[in-house]
C-alpha cells in the first residue's frame, strides 16, 4: 500500500514523494510540518495493524527529518541507540511501502537491518552501544577515511543510564580532534521514566539552570536544549555542531507518543510498544489472557507479602518484566537501576550480602551483558540471588538481537547456580518459591514471551523430575524442558499411536542435571532432550556426557535451536522450523529409530 493512499486516504503527495533522503533535502522548509503530521498518521495506521514500537517513533519524527536533511546516511555514519526508534529513519530512506510487513516473517525488521538498507549501519535492539560504535567509527575514519565522513550517534536519555555510554563519552571527550555529533533525544524515559542522577542533571538542563554540563566536564561541547519537535531549530543546531569539528552533544527535548492522543495520555509508558490496536482508541484489538509475565508478577507479589527480606531489581523494565504489582504494593523494595544490567547484578549481590534476597527481573537476551557479574560477583560468593529471565527462547517478531537463545547455554557453566524452566503456570509459581527459598547460591528461572497455557499434570515425581507420560514398555524418552512439555506430549501420543511407546519427563531444574534424570534415561534406546535454547550447551549435550560412562548408555539427541542468529517471524513458525513442535519431535524420533 502506498503511503499516499492509505486506508483512510489521509496521506498526501509529500510523504509519497519521499523515496530517499535526497527527496527530503529538496523539500522546502515550509513543507516539513505537514510532512511530520503525515508521518505520524502513517505510523499510527501501520503499527496499529502489525504491532511494534509506536511511542518512541512518534516522538522522534522532526528530529529524524532534521538528521536526514543535515547529514547523508548513505555516506555519513548514522547510528541509533536504541534501534527501536528508527521507524521514521526507515520511512525516510525509502521503506515506507514495506511497513505493511513490519515485524512479519520475511518483512521489515523492527530494528535497523544491514540486509534491508545501506542506510542501516548497525543492528541493535538494546541501549548504550551507539556511543562506543561512534568512537570506533571516528577513529577508523581518521585512519582510513573516507575523507569528510561524519559520525553521528542518536542516543536516548535512557541509554545514558548504561555504563557503556559513559565509558564511550570518557573516550570521546579525550579526543577533541575527532569530531562526533551526539544527538541526545531526551524524552525523560526509556520504557519507564529515566532514573538516577543523570535524570536529575538532564532535568536541570531542561529547566535552563545554566550549570556546567557533565558533558562539558568530560571534554565535549554542548548545544541546547533544543525543541526536538521544531525541525528548523534542530537543523540549525546540527549544522552548528557539525561546524565545530569536535565531539559535541546536541540536547534535543522530545515527547514520547507525540501527536497521538492515546499515547500522550498513557502515563505508564506512552505506548512504548504495542500489539495490534484500534488506531482510534489505542486499545488492543485482541486482549489476551494471562501471560507468563503476569503470573510471575502475581506470585512474586505474594512472596513479597510473606518475605520482608524479598526485594526486586530491574533494569528500566519494571512494567515489562512484570514488577508492576510488586512495586505498587512494596514501592520501597523495588530498585530500577536504569539500563544497566551489569550494575543490576552486582548491586543485587550487595543486597544479598546485606541480608536480603533479591529477585533480578530482566529479559533473557539482556542477561548476556552481565554474565561476568553473575559468575564472579554472585556465584563466587555463593549469594542467594534469583534471576527471573523473561522472553527466554524465541521471542518472535523482535528478531535476532532479542531472541533469548543463549542464557540456558551460558548459565549452566556457572558453579553453584541452579536453573529452572517451568512448563506451566503452576510450575512457575512452584519453582519461583523453591528458588527464593534457596539460601546457599544463585538461582534462575526462564520462561517465554507467550500466553500461558493450561497446567500439565504430573503422573509422578522421580528424583526431582516430573514424569508426565509413562508406559512400562517405552524405550524412548522425551526430556521436555519447560514450555516444550506440551509439544513433547503431543509427539509422544503420535508416536505411541504408531507403535512407538514413549515416555515424557520434565526435569524442572535443568542445571545442574537432576540425578533422577540420569536414572530415568539409563537403559533407554533413545533419549531426545527438547529445549528452546541454542543447541550448543543445551541440556541434551550435558545429559549425554553424564551418561557416557554408564554400562549401557542410551543414544541421546538434542532437539534445540540452531546455533545461529534467527530472523524475525512468529514464535510458532520459528519453533516449527527448528523442529520444536510435535510434528518435528516425532519426525526426529522416527528418523533415528529407523537409522
Active site residues: 256, 341, 369
Q: Containing H/E element for 314? A: strand 310-314
Q: Which residue has 557416557 as its cell numbers?
A: 548
Start-end of H helices in 463-508: 485-497
Q: In terms of DSSP bridges, do strands 526-534 and 555-561 run parallel, antiparallel, or are they unpaired?
A: parallel
Number of helices (H) and strands (E) in the chain: give both, helices first.
Answer: 24, 18
Q: How far is the C-alpha of 320 from the C-alpha of 338, rounded, in Å? A: 13
The C-alpha atoms of residue 294 and residue 322 are separated, in whole angstroms, by 6
Q: 576 labelled as ligand-binding?
A: no
Distance, CA of 13 to CA of 548 (rounded, Å): 69
Name the burial class of residue 412, with classes exposed (0-12), middle (13-18) and buried (19+) by CB atoms within 10 angstroms of its CB: buried
β-strand partners of 357 = 310
Query: Residue 431: which of 416, 417, 443 has the closest Cα?
Result: 443
341 is in an annotated binding site: yes
Angle at 80 between CA 181 and CA 70, to 5 degrees: 45
Write out 337-354 in H/E/C secondary structure.
CCCCHHHHHHHHHHHHHC
Contacts of residue 231, defined as CB under 8 A and 6 or more positions apart, other chains included, come to 29, 32, 33, 36, 62, 65, 66, 69
Q: Does 157 count as an annotated binding residue?
A: yes
Output the CA angle 288-290-293, nearest 5 degrees. 110
- Round to whole Å and give the CA distance between 455 and 392: 19
Task: Write down the residue that cell numbers 570521546 correspond to.
Answer: 172
* DSSP state, residue 5: G
Contacts 24+ apart (CB under 8 A), 163-166: 163/128, 163/340, 163/342, 163/343, 164/128, 164/129, 164/131, 164/132, 165/81, 165/127, 165/128, 165/131
Name the DSSP letter for residue 211: P
Residues contacting 390, CB < 8 A, separation 6+: 292, 293, 296, 320, 321, 322, 361, 362, 363, 364, 447, 449
Give the 3-state secondary structure of residue 175: coil
Q: Contact at 8 Å (CB) between 104 and 399?
A: no
Is 260 a known ligand-binding residue?
yes
Cα(154)–Cα(252) distance, integer angstroms: 10
Task: Say if residue 57 carries a ligand binding annotation.
Answer: no
Residue 549 annotated as lining a ligand binding site: no
The closest alpha carbon to 205, from 161, 269, 249, belongs to: 249
Cβ-proximal residues to 507 (8 Å cutoff; 6+ apart), any chain: 464, 465, 479, 481, 513, 514, 517, 539
Q: Is 125 annotated as a binding residue?
A: yes
Pairwise CA distance, residues 547 & 424, whole Å? 28
Which residue intervals of 119-277 are DSSP H helices? 130-144, 163-173, 196-206, 214-217, 231-244, 261-265
250 CB-near residues (< 8 Å, 6+ apart): 181, 182, 183, 184, 223, 224, 226, 234, 237, 238, 241
Q: Does 159 belong to an annotated binding site?
A: yes
Annotated binding-site residues for thiamine diphosphate read 84, 125-127, 158-159, 187, 260, 341
Binding residues for Mg(2+): 157, 187
**Binding-site residue set:** 84, 125-127, 157-159, 187, 260, 341
Amino acid at each position: 500500500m502506498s503511503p499516499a493512499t492509505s486506508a483512510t486516504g489521509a496521506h498526501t503527495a509529500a510523504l509519497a514523494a519521499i523515496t530517499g533522503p535526497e527527496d527530503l533535502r529538496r523539500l522546502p522548509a515550509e513543507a516539513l510540518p505537514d510532512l511530520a503530521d503525515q508521518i505520524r498518521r502513517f505510523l499510527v495506521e501501520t503499527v496499529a495493524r502489525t504491532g511494534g514500537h509506536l511511542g518512541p517513533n512518534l516522538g522522534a519524527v522532526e528530529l529524524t527529518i532534521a538528521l536526514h536533511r543535515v547529514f547523508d546516511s548513505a555516506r555519513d555514519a548514522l547510528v541509533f541507540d536504541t534501534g527501536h526508534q528508527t521507524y521514521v529513519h526507515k520511512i525516510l530512506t525509502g521503506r515506507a511501502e514495506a511497513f505493511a510487513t513490519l515485524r512479519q516473517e520475511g518483512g521489515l525488521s523492527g530494528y535497523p537491518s544491514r540486509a534491508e538498507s545501506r542506510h542501516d549501519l548497525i543492528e541493535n535492539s538494546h541501549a548504550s552501544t551507539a556511543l562506543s560504535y561512534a568512537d570506533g567509527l571516528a577513529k577508523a575514519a581518521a585512519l582510513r577515511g573516507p575523507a569528510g565522513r561524519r559520525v553521528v550517534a542518536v542516543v536516548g536519555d535512557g541509554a545514558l543510564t548504561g555504563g557503556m555510554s559513559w565509558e564511550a563519552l570518557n573516550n570521546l571527550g579525550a579526543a577533541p580532534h575527532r569530531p562526533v555529533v551526539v544527538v541526545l533525544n531526551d524524552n525523560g524515559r526509556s520504557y519507564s521514566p529515566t532514573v538516577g542522577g543523570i535524570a536529575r542533571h538532564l532535568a536541570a538542563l531542561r529547566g535552563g539552570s545554566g550549570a556546567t554540563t557533565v558533558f562539558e566536564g568530560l571534554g565535549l561541547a554542548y548545544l541546547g536544549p533544543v525543541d526536538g519537535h521544531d525541525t528548523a531549530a534542530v537543523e540549525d543546531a546540527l549544522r552548528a555542531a557539525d561546524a565545530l569539528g569536535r565531539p559535541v552533544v546536541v540536547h534535543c527535548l522530545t515527547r514520547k507518543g507525540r501527536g497521538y492522543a492515546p499515547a500522550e495520555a498513557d502515563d505508564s509508558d506512552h505506548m512504548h510498544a504495542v500489539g495490534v490496536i484500534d488506531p482510534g482508541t489505542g486499545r488492543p484489538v485482541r486482549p489476551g489472557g494471562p501471560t507468563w509475565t503476569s503470573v510471575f508478577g502475581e506470585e512474586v507479589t505474594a512472596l513479597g507479602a510473606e518475605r520482608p527480606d524479598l526485594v526486586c531489581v530491574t533494569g528500566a523494565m519494571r512494567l515489562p518484566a512484570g514488577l508492576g504489582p510488586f512495586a505498587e504494593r512494596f514501592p520501597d523494595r523495588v530498585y530500577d537501576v536504569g539500563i544497566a544490567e551489569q550494575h543490576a547484578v552486582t548491586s543485587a549481590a550487595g543486597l544479598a550480602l546485606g541480608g536480603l534476597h533479591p529477585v533480578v527481573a530482566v529479559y533473557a537476551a539482556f542477561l548476556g551483558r552481565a554474565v561476568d557479574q553473575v559468575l564472579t560477583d554472585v556465584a563466587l560468593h555463593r549469594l542467594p540471588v534469583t534471576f527471573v529471565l523473561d522472553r527466554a527462547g524465541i521471542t518472535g517478531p523482535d528478531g535476532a538481537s532479542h531472541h533469548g537463545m543463549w542464557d540456558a547455554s551460558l548459565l549452566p557453566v556457572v558453579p553453584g547456580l541452579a536453573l529452572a524452566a517451568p512448563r506451566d503456570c503452576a510450575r512457575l509459581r512452584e519453582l519461583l518459591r523453591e528458588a527464593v527459598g534457596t539460601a546457599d547460591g544463585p538461582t534462575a528461572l526462564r520462561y517465554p514471551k507467550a500466553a500461558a497455557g493450561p497446567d500439565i499434570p504430573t503422573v509422578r515425581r522421580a528424583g526431582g523430575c516430573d514424569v508426565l507420560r509413562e508406559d512400562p514398555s517405552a524405550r524412548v524418552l522425551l526430556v521436555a524442558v519447560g514450555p516444550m512439555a506440551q509439544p513433547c506430549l503431543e509427539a509422544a501420543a503420535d508416536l505411541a499411536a504408531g507403535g512407538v511407546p514413549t515416555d515424557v519427563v520434565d526435569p524442572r531444574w535443568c542445571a545442574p542435571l537432576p540425578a533422577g534424570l540420569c536414572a530415568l534415561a539409563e537403559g533407554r534406546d533413545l533419549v531426545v532432550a527438547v529445549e528452546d535454547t541454542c543447541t550448543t550447551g543445551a541440556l541434551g549435550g550435558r545429559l549425554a556426557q553424564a551418561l557416557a560412562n554408564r554400562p549401557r548408555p542410551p543414544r541421546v539427541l538434542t532437539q534445540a535451536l540452531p546455533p545461529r542468529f534467527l530472523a524475525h517471524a512468529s514464535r510458532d513458525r520459528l519453533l516449527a522450523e527448528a523442529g520444536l513442535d510435535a510434528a518435528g519431535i516425532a519426525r526426529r524420533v522416527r528418523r533415528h529409530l529407523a537409522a
